[in-house]
Amino acid sequence: MRSANMFWVHFIPVEVNPEIGVCGGGPPRTPLFPELFRSFETHPYVLWEGFMHELVYFYPQGHEAHMEVGHPERPDRVEAMVKALTEAGWWDSFPHLEPAQVPREVLEGVHTADFLGQLEEVCSRGQRFDMDTYTTISSWDLAIKAAGGGIAVAQQVWERDAQHGFALTRPPGHHATPNRAMGFCLLNNVALAAEYLIQDKGAKRLAIIDLDQHHGNGTQDIFWARGDVFYFSTHQYPHYPGTGRVGEIGIGDGEGTTANFPLPPFSGDQAFLTIMDEAIIPLLDRYAPEVLLVSYGFDPHWRDPLGNLMLTAGGCGVLISRLADWAEENCQGRIALYLEGGYDLDAAAACAQGVVAALLGQEWDDPLGAPHQPETSAWQAMFKEARQLWDL
């Protein structure tokens, strides 16, 4: 196990008020040793206790109201994951966060004011935003709550109240651009979490690692010309939405902080793990982000009906284990996962177990195993190009 729920003991500078006792030094906490408390009243430091959760979740209460009959982005996706995590004993064991308020400044730091108004209006009528992206009269409220849940998880991880976080954000978000909802996505949850940490917590360098089957064009667009977020993506190509070529690396202040690894169909565990170990991890070393935010779609799994990648659930877990280990060594363990795609329910359930096992540092057996055909090596040509581009 990587670590456990833990207490820590530390000393905090305080002032002594003769009427109310010890004050200052942040929010009050219970003394670790109450019998010693009085002996510290005239001393400039006092002993406190703290507690850090190993993992926190966000669950999108009421998300069933965002649905369209026959659409692959459906409530069953989240419920299959919850069922699987419950069966593994990893759901009720950790706190579930309420969504935070999403400051307007953060919303408009990611999306345009015109788009936000347009999206709220479309949702109020329960109309489609485009051919792929439906709404209901509950979708705006649920999208805001999903964004707030993602922010709550990011805040807990950033402030070290939790070591790791997993936000089951629904509706998903990584295709949502500054001015458009698309690809089943309404608001860009992971981008809003990153923007919140930058605006409200003073974060200077963040990394978003997008492991969905589809390129996160929205997240790329949002941070395309910014140097405070390094966006990585592994995705099937050519495929929807048609972006994410190796040469797309950002512009202006953002030049060199977008790294794309477009994978041909039938790329699997070997391709993903090679890219993680020989490209993403070395680039993280160079950039030195203060926190890792992972857009995790489970649709690269070989069972997924919307694509042709061949990642296993075990491979999903290994990828997250690599990132969690990097975070442990380089950014105080700060890593949070954000649900994106994944449309085969059995695969989503297995992958959810795999990534949570990785976050907890626990052994786990993949119940679905390997695909029925071997992965191809066609991805190696792309990777050679990427290595040359990034001098790896």
pLDDT of residue 1: 45
**pLDDT band for position 50 (50/70/90)?**
low
Poorest-confidence range of 39-48, 160-169, 235-244, 282-291?
39-48
Spatial contact of 190 and 208, defined as CB atoms under 8 Å apart: yes
pLDDT at 194: 98
Rounded to whole angstroms, how far apart are CA atoms 26 and 37?
A: 17
Mean pLDDT of the region 279-305:
98
Which pLDDT score, from 0 to 100, does residue 32 have? Answer: 39
- Burial tier of 391 (Cβ tally within 10 Å: 0-12, 13-18, 19+): exposed
Each residue's pLDDT tens digit, 255-270: 999 999 999 999 999 9
- C-alpha to C-alpha distances, 139 to 117, 123, 147, 280, 362, nearest whole angstrom: 14, 6, 12, 35, 36
pTM assigned to the model: 0.89
Name the 3-class secondary structure at 307.
coil
Is 37 or 77 the better-scoring residue by pLDDT? 77
**Mean pLDDT (whole number) for 24-31:** 37
Q: Is residue 10 very low, low, confident or very high in pLDDT (cuts 50, 70, 90)?
A: very low
pLDDT computed for residue 12 by the predictor: 38
Q: Domains plus CATH for the chain? A: 6-47 (no CATH), 54-390 (3.40.800.20)
Q: How much is the mean pLDDT over the chain?
A: 90
- Range name among 2-16, 17-31, 54-68, 313-327 with the lowest pLDDT average: 17-31
Q: What pLDDT was estimated at residue 51?
A: 75
pLDDT at 117 over 90: yes
> pLDDT tens digits for 186-243?
999 999 999 999 999 999 999 999 999 999 999 999 999 999 999 999 999 999 999 9
The pLDDT > 90 percentage for the chain reads: 87
Residue spans of alpha helices (H) in 159-310: 189-201, 217-223, 269-275, 281-287
Q: What digits encode the pLDDT tens for the residues 52-95?
A: 999 999 999 999 999 999 999 999 999 999 999 999 999 999 99
- Answer yes or no: are the C-beta atoms of 224 and 167 closer than 8 Å: no
Type and span of the H or E element at 35? helix 34-37
341: left (phi over 0), alpha (psi -120 to 50) or beta: beta
User: Known catalytic residues?
Assistant: 175
Residue in the block written with tokens 């001393």: 43
Cα dist. 380→246, 249, 385 in Å?
Answer: 13, 20, 9
